C-alpha cells in the first residue's frame, strides 16, 4: 500500500485545510494514470490537501487506506472501488466518523445509498452497448457465424460487469454472434497479451476481439501480430477508453473502433469535495459525457489528446 500526501494548502490534516483522502485502484492502465494525474493536479489547483494511496488492484489495500483516512480525520474520502462488493463495513465506519464519502469512476453494489454522498463517473453499461452496436453494424451482413473473443476487465469490478452486460444485451438477438471465449485480462497490457495468446491457440476461428479496455487490446495486438495475423483486418478489434496509444492504433488501422471512457474526473471531483465538506446537497449520480472514435475521428483527435 503506497500512501503519500500532495496538493496545496495547510499542514497534514490540520490548520483548517480541506483534506481529501483518495484511495485509488492502482496504476493498471493508461486510463488510470491519466485519472490519477487529473485528480492530483485538480486538488492542487483547488487548494485541497490530497492524501493519495495506490491499492495495487487489491480491495484489502483500499480498505486499509480508507481506515487510515478515517483515523487521520480527513474532511472527505473519495475512492474508486476496485470491485463492486464488500464495502458496507468500512463505509459504515466512515459514516459513524461523520466523514462523507464520494465514489468516483466505479460503483459499489451496496443497497444502502446513505453510505456515500454521490457517484461521479461513466455509464459502463452504455459503453458496452456502444461496443455491441458497432459490432452489430460492422458484421450485420456477414455470412455465417461471427466468432467473438472477449477480454474482460478485473473480475468483480463495475466496468467489467457492466461492459460485459451492455455488449451481451445488444448482440443477444442475433444468434450468429457467438462469444467463443471470454476471460479476464485484468485491465493490463501484459495480461491482455497473455490471454489473447491462449485464445489464438485454443480457437480455430476468431473474427473479432472485444476488449473491456484499450490496454488489453494493445497487449492483444502484440499477440495477434506474433501469431502472424493482421490486427484490424484478420481479427477486428473494438475496445473501451480512448487513450492516445489506442487512438494511434486506430489511426494506423490496427484497432477498428474505440468507445470513450473519460478519466479526467479531477475538476468535477474537487467541486463535489468542496460541496460535501460544506454540507451542501449534491446529485446522487453524475455521469460524464463521452464519445466514440472511428479511424477518421481518431486521427482528428490525436493532436490534442492529453493522455
Ligand atoms: O474503471 C475504469 C476502467 O479502469 C478503465 O476502463 C480501465 O482502463 C481502468 O483500468
| pLDDT one-digit tens code per residue, 208-217 | 999 999 999 9
| Cβ contact 227:220 at 8 Å | no
pLDDT tens digits, residue range 142-170? Answer: 999 999 999 999 999 999 999 999 999 99
Grid cell locating 82: 476496485
Confidence band, pLDDT 50/70/90 cuts, at residue 17 = confident
Residue 303: Cβ-neighbour burial (10 angstroms; 0-12, 13-18, 19+): exposed
Cα(93) to ligand 1 centroid in Å equals 27
How many Å lie between the centroid of ligand 1 and the Cα of residue 214?
Answer: 9
Q: What is the pLDDT of residues 102-137, one digit of tens each?
A: 999 999 999 999 999 999 999 999 999 999 999 999
159 lines ligand 1 (CB under 6 A): yes
Q: How far apart are CA 67 and CA 105, in angstroms?
A: 20
Short-list 78, 61, 68, CA closest to 18: 78
56 CA to centre of ligand 1 in angstroms: 13
Which cell numbers hold the place of 25?
Answer: 485502484
Residue 251 contacts residue 295 (beta carbons within 8 Å): yes
Q: Is the CB of 240 under 6 A from ligand 1?
A: yes
Write down the pLDDT at residue 216. Answer: 98
Rounded Cα distance between 91 and 101, Å, is 8
Which pLDDT tens digit goes with each residue over 232-282? 999 999 999 999 999 999 999 999 999 999 999 999 999 999 999 999 999
Instruction: Identify the pLDDT of residue 5.
Output: 52
**pLDDT band, residue 16 (cuts 50/70/90):** confident
Q: What is the pLDDT of residues 34-68, one digit of tens each?
A: 999 999 999 999 999 999 999 999 999 999 999 99
CA distance 6 to 22: 11
Tell how far the Cα of 54 is from the centroid of ligand 1, in angstroms. 14
Q: From the CA of 264, how far away is ligand 1's center (Å)?
A: 12
Ligand 1: atom nearest CA of 26 is: 10
pLDDT of residue 14: 43
Mean of per-residue pLDDT scores for the chain: 95
Ligand 1 proximity of 106 Cβ (cutoff 6 Å): yes
Q: What is the pLDDT of residue 4?
A: 54
Does 2 have pLDDT greater than 70?
no
118-121/146-152 β-pairing:
unpaired
Pocket test for ligand 1, best of 55, 261, 264 (most atoms within 8 A of CB): 261
Tens digits of per-residue pLDDT, 67-99?
A: 999 999 999 999 999 999 999 999 999 999 999
CA 236/CA 208 separation, integer angstroms: 5
Amino acid at each position: 500500500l503506497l500512501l503519500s500526501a500532495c496538493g496545496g494548502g495547510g499542514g497534514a490534516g490540520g490548520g483548517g485545510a480541506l483534506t481529501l483522502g483518495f484511495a485509488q485502484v492502482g496504476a493498471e492502465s493508461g486510463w488510470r494514470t491519466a485519472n490519477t494525474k487529473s485528480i492530483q493536479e485538480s486538488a492542487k489547483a483547488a487548494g485541497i490537501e490530497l492524501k493519495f494511496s495506490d491499492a495495487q488492484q487489491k480491495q484489502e489495500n483500499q480498505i486499509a487506506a480508507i481506515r487510515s483516512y478515517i483515523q487521520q480525520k480527513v474532511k472527505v474520502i473519495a475512492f474508486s472501488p476496485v470491485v463492486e462488493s464488500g464495502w458496507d463495513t468500512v463505509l459504515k465506519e466512515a459514516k459513524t466518523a461523520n466523514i462523507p464519502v464520494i465514489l468516483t469512476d466505479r460503483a459499489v453494489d451496496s443497497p444502502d445509498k446513505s453510505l456515500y454522498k454521490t457517484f461521479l463517473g461513466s455509464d459502463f453499461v452504455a459503453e458496452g452497448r456502444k461496443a455491441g452496436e458497432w459490432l452489430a453494424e460492422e458484421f450485420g451482413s456477414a455470412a455465417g457465424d461471427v466468432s467473438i473473443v472477449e477480454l474482460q476487465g478485473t473480475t468483480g469490478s463495475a466496468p467489467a460487469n457492466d461492459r460485459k452486460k451492455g455488449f451481451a444485451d445488444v448482440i443477444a438477438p442475433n444468434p450468429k454472434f457467438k462469444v467463443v471465449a471470454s476471460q479476464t485480462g485484468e485491465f493490463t497490457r501484459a495480461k491482455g497479451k497473455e490471454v489473447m495468446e491462449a485464445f489464438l491457440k485454443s480457437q480455430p476461428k476468431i473474427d473479432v476481439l472485444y476488449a473491456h479496455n484499450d490496454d488489453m487490446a494493445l497487449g492483444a495486438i502484440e499477440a495477434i501480430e506474433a501469431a502472424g495475423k493482421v490486427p484490424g483486418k484478420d481479427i477486428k478489434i473494438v475496445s473501451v477508453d480512448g487513450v492516445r496509444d489506442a487512438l494511434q492504433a486506430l489511426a494506423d488501422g490496427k484497432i477498428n473502433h474505440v468507445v470513450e471512457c473519460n478519466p479526467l474526473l479531477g475538476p468535477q471531483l474537487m467541486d463535489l469535495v468542496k460541496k460535501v465538506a460544506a454540507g451542501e446537497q449534491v446529485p446522487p449520480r453524475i455521469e460524464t459525457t463521452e464519445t466514440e472514435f472511428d479511424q477518421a475521428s481518431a486521427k482528428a483527435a490525436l493532436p490534442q489528446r492529453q493522455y
